Chain A
Amino acid sequence: SAVISQKPSRDICQRGTSLTIQCQVDSQVTMMFWYRQQPGQSLTLIATANQGSEATYESGFVIDKFPISRPNLTFSTLTVSNMSPEDSSIYLCSVEILAGTNEQYFGPGTRLTVT
């Protein structure tokens, strides 16, 4: 398993601003993922972040809106840019522990409210 922390745990932001969410893992991992969980919904994958390469975005998500950094094997950031109330969600990062299986461990999430 892995211990994953996220900062901030929650935030309330005004529309038009940006928020950067940090994800820290206690061990080196190749694959990191960012998900969005809208209120009362399941998880939707935003992008896959591999160290040393550009993030791979899922359909419906673009780099300009959700830029991602992955500077090393234990850390990643997700920025939610030019926020609107529709961006109010829980944002979760996860890591793949067993290579090739997609067995993922999740951080505690960042609860974002946009007013």
Chain B
Amino acid sequence: AQSVTQLDSQVPVFEEAPVELRCNYSSSVSVYLFWYVQYPNQGLQLLLKYLSGSTLVKGINGFEAEFNKSQTSFHLRKPSVHISDTAEYFCAVSYVSGSARQLTFGSGTQLTVLP
């Protein structure tokens, strides 16, 4: 079965510091990759996506991610975080399964930005 691993369940970081949230996936086939953010008591919001083309993708709120096929990774980065970035972040991978695509989520990383 395909899997998505978010290596850090919790990441505390001080305001204005850089942050990287790690995501690795297992796949020998082509994938589409996504990062979602979930603020407290809200649904999921799409941060950014990789479908094809440039391996460095930019998303909303100053986030970016780099697709590394050889390392099967899609790490999320932000050069300077704000208090408002405190939220749960989910990496998701879309695999081809038979005739359908399945979206598989990682376990999530809680980013806490400290003043």
Majority DSSP secondary structure for residues of A touching B: strand
What is the 8 Å Cβ interface bit string for chain B, positions 35-65, against chain A (1 contact, 0 not)?
A: 0100001111110010100000000000000
Chain A residues near B46 (CB-CB < 8 A): 1, 103-105
B43 near A108 with CB under 8 A, answer: yes
B101 near A100 with CB under 8 A, answer: yes
**A92–B100 CA distance with the chains assembled, in angstroms:** 20
A102 near B90 with CB under 8 A, answer: no
A20-35 residues with Cβ-Cβ distance < 8 A to B are 33
A94-115 residues with Cβ-Cβ distance < 8 A to B are 94, 98, 100-109, 111
Majority DSSP secondary structure for residues of B touching A: strand
Chain A residues near B43 (CB-CB < 8 A): 4, 92, 106-109
Between A and B, how many residue pairs show CB distances below 8 Å?
Answer: 50
Q: How far is the CB of B67 from chain A (nearest CB, A)?
A: 14
Chain B residues near A104 (CB-CB < 8 A): 34, 46, 103
**A104–B42 CA distance with the chains assembled, in angstroms:** 16
Chain A residues near B42 (CB-CB < 8 A): 108-109
Chain B residues near A102 (CB-CB < 8 A): 32, 94, 101-103
Q: Across the interface, name the chain A residue whose C-beta is closest to B6.
A: A42
Chain B residues near A45 (CB-CB < 8 A): 102-103
Count chain B CB atoms within 10 A of each CB in A94, A102, A107 and give the residue with the most. Answer: A102
Q: Tell me which of B20-28, B70-78, B79-87, B105-113 binds A.
A: B105-113
Of A41, A103, A106, the residue contacting B45 (CB under 8 A) is A106
Q: Across the interface, name the chain B residue whose C-beta is closest to A94.
A: B44
Q: How far is the CB of B9 from chain A (nearest CB, A)?
A: 10
B32 near A42 with CB under 8 A, answer: no
Of A4, A42, A101, the residue contacting B90 (CB under 8 A) is A42
What is the 8 Å Cβ interface bit string for chain A, positions 1-14, against chain B (1 contact, 0 not)?
A: 10010000000000
Extra contacts, 10 of them, besides A101-B101, A107-B43, A109-B43 (Cβ < 8 A), are A42-B108, A43-B105, A45-B103, A48-B100, A101-B32, A101-B94, A102-B102, A103-B34, A103-B46, A104-B34
